[in-house]
Amino acid sequence: MTQDVCKKCSMLAAVVTVRSDPLCADCFARFVNTKVVKRMEGFRTRYATAGEERCLLLPVSFGVGSLTLLHVLDRHLVQQCERYGRTGYALRVLYVGVEGAERERLAMLREKYRHPVTVLPLAAVFESADDTDGADGVSGASEVDADADHTDDADQGNGTDKTKDTQGNSTEAAEKLTTLLAALTPTSTADVISILKTRLIANYARRTGCEAVLWGSSTTRLAETALAETAKGRGFALPWHLADGPSPYGVAFHHPLRDVLGKELTAHAEIVFPELLPLVAEEVLPRGTIDGLMRGYFASVEESYPSIVSNVVRTTGKLKPPPPGVARCALCSLPVEADQLGIYGWGGDQAAGRGAEGELCYGCSRAVPAEAAALLR
């Protein structure tokens, strides 16, 4: 904390130093809000037809990034409504996980914000027959909406056969997920779970007609992703992971927090909306993982050299996506050339027969053993 006068308003006492500038709480909140709103220019009210709001999906992990984004956008929508009498978009909130594990946080979230909140189990990603051909290919995902009481009146009249089929699909999907994760090493588990969450979120966005997915990734988190995915063998996918715009999943990806550092998000949560701090769940990464190493590295770099973090994101943002591949990885669902699937396509002393692992991109083939790759078919 500092006792300097705020550099922006020159009136109030500064409570935080942001990129060498001392700022008061109000100016700091305005700083973060402006960074986010500038990235939402394409969703202004002038681009929205009255009565036809575009729907955007915001996945929450109960990390400081996704919660900050939800808080800022909620205020943005309130301001749009007060100024123009309508909003440029509507938000849907999605949490992937077990509702019982986060029951209190979900209840607080639903009480604080008016947006519909849906809960999906991770296993729902395996309930889809084909998650690459658009919304019609996604089926059977169990969900809980904020406005629903865990069941839908329309579903109650569809007979017991449909219920049994749905329960059977859910059970089979849960068993498949359990078997897959049991076959992975501890360091690969977090990687595979993250990939499956991305697939499920994109599937749900398409199925519900959402125009885009809004990720709560800060500049620091995007820089971590850039180096981590490259080290894992998925460097070809960086343009899709980091850029704002169309994705191979059939729905656009946007990162409204891409101009805000991770430490700034933490300070924003502590200073601007401390009442929401109980919602924040600390993410614990397994020791020795690539993600954990990158997290620690950039946490130290952003303290003294924040420009380095920003440069990593800006540089990788200039990368162009490769030409669309004719094949898709069975795990991450990203397009890749058929002759570059698996370790086989990249040569090396492990270039044995293709087998099931030959349906994976190089990075995923290093994370999923051959005997478990067949589960992804």
Domain final position from 284, 302, 321: 321
pTM of the entire structure?
0.86
What pLDDT does 342 receive? 62
Residues 38 and 177 in one domain: yes
Q: Is the per-residue pLDDT at 173 higher than 50?
A: yes
Cβ-Cβ contacts under 8 Å for 231 (sequence gap 6 or more): 290, 294
Residues 80 and 94 in one domain: yes
Whether 121 maps to a domain, the answer reads yes
304-341 per-residue burial string, b: 16 or more CB within 10 A, e: under 16: eebeebbebbeebbebebeeebebbbbbbbbbbeeeeb
Q: Which amino acid is at 3?
A: Q
CATH of the domain at 234: 3.40.50.620
Whether 331 maps to a domain, the answer reads yes
Q: Helix, strand or coil for residue 211?
A: coil
Whether 1 maps to a domain, the answer reads no
Whether 257 maps to a domain, the answer reads yes
Torsion of CA 15, 24, 268, 202, to 10 degrees: -160
Residues 115 and 208 in one domain: yes
Residues 364 and 257 in one domain: no
The model's confidence at residue 375, banded by pLDDT at 50, 70 and 90, is: confident
Residues 214 and 294 in one domain: yes
State the number of CA atoms in the 13 A half-sphere of 89 facing the CB. Answer: 24
Residues 297 and 342 in one domain: no
Q: Helix, strand or coil for residue 13?
A: strand
Whether 19 maps to a domain, the answer reads no
Please provide residue 299's backbone torsions phi and psi, each rounded to the nearest 5 degrees.
-65, -35
Token couple for 254: 């946007």
- Strands (DSSP E) contained in 47-88 are 54-59
Token couple for 20: 């060498």
256 and 36 in contact (C-beta within 8 Å)?
A: yes
The model's confidence at residue 155, banded by pLDDT at 50, 70 and 90, is: very low
Q: Which amino acid is at 138?
A: V
Residues 357 and 227 in one domain: no
Other beta carbons within 10 angstroms of residue 367's beta carbon come to 24
Residues 229 and 167 in one domain: yes
Residues 306 and 364 in one domain: no
Q: Is the per-residue pLDDT at 166 higher than 60?
A: no
Residue-wise pLDDT tens digits, 23-47: 999 999 999 999 999 999 888 776 5
Domain final position from 274, 301, 321: 321
State the number of CA atoms in the 13 A half-sphere of 184 facing the CB. Answer: 21
Within 146-218, residue ranges assigned H as helices are: 153-156, 160-182, 186-207
Angle at 105 between CA 62 and CA 279, to 5 degrees: 50
Give the residue numbers spanning the domain of 365.
323-377
Q: Is the per-residue pLDDT at 146 higher than 60?
A: no
What pLDDT does 283 receive? 78
Other beta carbons within 10 angstroms of residue 39's beta carbon come to 18
Residues 68 and 212 in one domain: yes
Q: Helix, strand or coil for residue 89?
A: strand
Residues 157 and 33 in one domain: yes
Whether 80 maps to a domain, the answer reads yes
Residue-wise pLDDT tens digits, 236-293: 899 998 999 999 999 999 999 999 999 999 999 999 888 888 889 887 777 778 999 9
Residues 335 and 314 in one domain: no
Torsion of CA 171, 376, 127, 122, to 10 degrees: 80
250 and 134 in contact (C-beta within 8 Å)?
A: yes
Domain final position from 321, 339, 364: 321
Tell how many helices (H) and how many strands (E) occur in the chain: 13, 9
The model's confidence at residue 131, banded by pLDDT at 50, 70 and 90, is: very low
Q: Helix, strand or coil for residue 245?
A: strand
Express the helix, strand and coil content of the chain in percent, nearest 5 each: 55, 10, 35
Cβ-Cβ contacts under 8 Å for 121 (sequence gap 6 or more): 96, 97, 98, 142, 170, 174
126 and 177 in contact (C-beta within 8 Å)?
A: yes
268 and 28 in contact (C-beta within 8 Å)?
A: yes
Q: Whole-angstrom Cα distance, residue 162 to residue 140?
A: 10
Indicate the number of domains in the chain. Answer: 2
Whether 350 maps to a domain, the answer reads yes
Q: Whole-angstrom Cα distance, residue 351 to residue 336?
A: 18
Average pLDDT for 319-332: 82
Whether 172 maps to a domain, the answer reads yes
Q: Which of 364, 333, 64 is nearest to 191 (CA)?
A: 364
Q: Is the per-residue pLDDT at 226 higher than 80?
A: yes
